[in-house]
Amino acid sequence: MSARNVAWLGPTLAWIILLCATAAVAWLGLEASGRLRFGGALAIAALMLGTLAFGLVGVGRNPALLRLVAGAAFLFLALMFFLSFTDLMTRLR
Amino acid sequence: MTETALASRAPDPLREPWSDLSRQREAATLGMWLFLMSEMLFFGALFMAFSFSRALDPAAFAEAARHAEIAYGAANTAVLVTSSLTITIAVRAANAERATLATRLLAATALLGVAFLVIKGFEYRDDLRNHLFPGHDFALGENATQIFWAFYWAMTGIHAIHLTVGVALVLRLFWLVRGGRMSLASPQLEVTSLYWHLVDAFWIVLFPVLYVAVRA
């Protein structure tokens, strides 16, 4: 491949997945109910984040140090959610 | 002006104290990732507070979320993911020294960002007409529904401010690259695209959470 060629196929596939996922979330909001809507919307959001991170941002191609920083951010977020909801559970009981 | 002429006019992207461009790019990208990490924690705290409040009164949140317009949210999501595609290919075009393609895609990215803000403006107008701003003439009955809408305005407002900053940064890049004032090899393109993707990522979570998941 020439150096002046632009690799667009991967990002375009990721974009198509993201558009389909957006339509699926909208459908869930209009047609589904209860747990399907709640769980489905959050699961699709996670899929969209993964598609954005790996398909468009290219997290997988980054050096190990950058992946470590991103992973640390997710770990701290998970800890924050875990501790907060542990506190909530003790209050509700 | 031809692409070669643009490239030859641009100043050297290498800055002190780095001795080569790849090290400079790595440092700039790491700096941006650290900034993004702090932003993730900031937005994460907002989402956590939202989830906590929702857990205390899920019925009121479900009723409140029913009034959020899914059509606006979906349209804005489509606009924003398209802008992520255009900025990704703009960076790749810059790496391939395709200045014209890169500038066009940067312009498209900025336009899509503005389109998002315009759609959001129409949505805010409808929300205000329907008295969905917390306060004395709030349309819904229960106090907890006001909390949902307080989160809605705060989270979408903060996101819109971030996007406005992103549009300004992309327009600056467009102006610099188009005038041949910045080399296509500059790490600024990649770093700005990372920021743009972060703003997109927040919306990708905001849309399902605020408009769909907690809805009645």
Q: Is the pLDDT of residue B18 over 80?
A: no
Is the Cβ–Cβ distance between B31 and B192 less than 8 Å? Answer: no
Of the listed ranges A74-78, B7-11, B131-135, the least confidently predicted one is B7-11
pTM given for the model: 0.90
- Residue that is written with structure tokens 């997109």 in the block: B200
> Is B45 in Cβ contact with A45 (below 8 Å)?
no
> Is B51 in Cβ contact with A29 (below 8 Å)?
no
Domain boundaries, chain B: 20-213
pLDDT digits (tens, 9 = 90+) for B19-44: 888 888 888 888 898 898 899 889 98
Instruction: Report the residue of B88, B103, B211 to disrupt the A interface, i.e. the one with the largest count of A CBs within 10 Å.
Output: B88
A51 and A82 in a single domain? The answer is no
CA B60/CA B150 separation, integer angstroms: 13
A17 and A45 in a single domain? The answer is yes
Is the Cβ–Cβ distance between B115 and B122 less than 8 Å? Answer: no
Instruction: Report the residue of A17, A77, A86, A88 to disrupt the B interface, i.e. the one with the largest count of B CBs within 10 Å.
Output: A77
Count structural domains, chain A: 2
Give A73 to chain B, closest Cα distance, Å: 5
For chain A, which residues score pLDDT lower than 70?
A: 1-4, 93
Contacts of B96 (CB under 8 A, 6+ apart): A3, A4, A5, A6
Tokens of B191: 């770093």
> Is B37 in Cβ contact with A42 (below 8 Å)?
no
Predicted pLDDT of residue A1: 47
State yes or no: ipTM above 0.85.
Answer: yes
A41 and A75 in a single domain? The answer is no
User: What is the percent of chain A where pLDDT is above 90?
Assistant: 40
Tokens of A91: 């209050």
Is the Cβ–Cβ distance between B94 and B170 less than 8 Å? Answer: no
Q: Map residue B111 onto helix, strand or coil.
A: helix
Residue A40 structural domain: 1-61
Predicted pLDDT of residue B8: 56
A56 and A12 in a single domain? The answer is yes
> Is A63 in Cβ contact with B194 (below 8 Å)?
no
CATH architecture assigned to B20-213: Up-down Bundle (1.20)
A37 and A5 in a single domain? The answer is yes
The whole-angstrom distance between residue A43's C-alpha and the CA centroid of its chain comes to 8
> Is B34 in Cβ contact with A38 (below 8 Å)?
no
pLDDT digits (tens, 9 = 90+) for B75-106: 999 999 999 999 999 999 998 989 999 999 99
A39 and A76 in a single domain? The answer is no
Predicted pLDDT of residue B9: 66
A6 and A23 in a single domain? The answer is yes
User: What is the percent of chain B where pLDDT is above 70?
Assistant: 95
A55 and A67 in a single domain? The answer is no
A17 and A47 in a single domain? The answer is yes
Q: Is the pLDDT of residue B147 over 60?
A: yes
**Comparison of pLDDT for B181 and B81, the residue scoring more:** B81
Predicted pLDDT of residue B210: 93
A57 and A77 in a single domain? The answer is no
A16 and A39 in a single domain? The answer is yes
